[in-house]
Amino acid sequence: MNPTSATAQPAFDVERVREDFPILDTRVGAHPLVYLDNAATSQKPQVVIDALTHYYAARNANIHRGVHYLSGAATDAYDQARVTVAKFLGAAEPRECLFVRGATEAINLVAATWGRKNLRAGDEILLTEMEHHANIVPWQLVAEATGAVIKVIPITDRGELILDNLDELLTPRVKMLAVTQVSNALGTVNPVAELVRRAHAAGAKVLVDGAQGAPHVPVDVCALDCDFYAFSGHKIFGPTGIGILYGKAALLETLPPYQSGGDMIERVTFAKSTFRGLPERFEAGTPHISGAIGLAAALQYFAKIGPEAAAAHERDLLVYASEQVRAVPGIRIVGEAAEKVGVLSFVMDDVHPHDIGTILDNEGIAIRAGHHCCQPLMRRLGVAGTARASFAFYNTRAEVDRLAAALHKVKKMFG
């Protein structure tokens, strides 16, 4: 989507949807809240809040261990949550979906297990110039431990991957391509299907960071054919502290445990321990049971809303917001890829992004300001940071109007 001209607003009952999110009734001082920090974390519908409350009020017990009623109820809900996740991702079977704390832990898990098992000195890990720190630092650590080398796919000034020399980068030394599906700082939608195909043709595995992709673009891991896919629950209307690592079963079965402890073992003696199969091998200890149940409720809610209708509404908001923000004197939008979803990053002449964020907060408008955990990307684009408004399907054109009016006020204050 190229946000260059406004289009008619899609038939999407956003006011009805907003009723599902109690926090949107918050007032910040004298102003109604305008929440435009969805790329950092999304808000939660009442059904997710209710699911968490119901677990603690009626099902709270540990899972997979007890023989009593509550343990059985909690186990059933937790196991069913994995089925819901597998359906959302299009996974071949639920055991390919591992519960983790979020996309960050998912990537660390792959780097620590697959990376240490498979990488050797001189091997290469291919990243992109727009990666979040969570998809850079874990690979740096495993590279230091194994002697592997990190290479980078460059980007254009518009924030799009430069793939002209991809075949030259994808040498037989490349063992892993780790790529974001959607840039958290720019909103760029990367051609991950093409990247997966070309990486596999070169003999490399592929990890897709779907933290920003899962809430905004269709996900079908089997069709995509990626080896690993990671996303965080809190960015897709679910609880914090829960996320998913999808991995092809045949590949996960070759990997050693990431952590050890209860529930992931078959047999323990002081001489030796043996471990269970998927998914338990990678879920040591008491898991985030309520988080898994809450994530399942979020995914079910998202499916009921209709991801396609939600995405169409978000595209309309991005087009409209791009036009309104461009009209503010001194503002430059950072990242104008042809394929882009609900992120609008910008800088204003002689005004620090944190000052923009602070003044907008005084108007009740929540945005993000800074480097967005993408310092290499910011350096590539020649900025210290940006102000970032990021949209979800519960945002409105009226909220965009308030954003634009507040930015005109910022410009006036700083001359």
Strands 149-153, 273-275: pairing kind: unpaired
List 209's β-bridge partners, or say none: 180, 230
- Give the residue among 97, 373, 63, 117 at the shortest CA–CA distance from 243: 97
- Give the residue among 159, 217, 198, 207 at the shortest CA–CA distance from 335: 159
In whole angstroms, what is the distance from residue 218 CA to residue 215 CA?
Answer: 8
Residue 47, token pair as written in the block: 């059904």
In whole angstroms, what is the distance from residue 207 CA to residue 320 CA?
Answer: 33
| 318 phi, psi to nearest 5 deg | -65, -45
In whole angstroms, what is the distance from residue 343 CA to residue 143 CA?
Answer: 31
Dihedral (Cα; 241, 246, 249, 250), 10-degree rounding: -120
Among this protein's residues, is 222 annotated catalytic? no
Q: Are 281 and 257 in contact (CB under 8 A)?
A: yes
- Give the residue among 222, 232, 214, 215 at the shortest CA–CA distance from 196: 222
Q: Which long-range contacts (CB under 8 A, 24 or more apart) does 196-203 make?
A: 196/224, 196/225, 196/226, 197/225, 198/166, 198/167, 198/170, 199/126, 199/170, 199/174, 200/225, 201/170, 202/167, 202/170, 202/171, 202/172, 202/174, 203/172, 203/174
Residue 269, token pair as written in the block: 């003696």
DSSP at 269? -
Which residue is catalytic, options 97, 226, 373, 374? 373
Residue 70, token pair as written in the block: 């509550």
| 62 phi, psi to nearest 5 deg | -80, 160
In whole angstroms, what is the distance from residue 189 CA to residue 181 CA?
Answer: 6
| 313 phi, psi to nearest 5 deg | -65, -45
DSSP at 102? S
Supply the residues annotated as catalytic.
Answer: 373
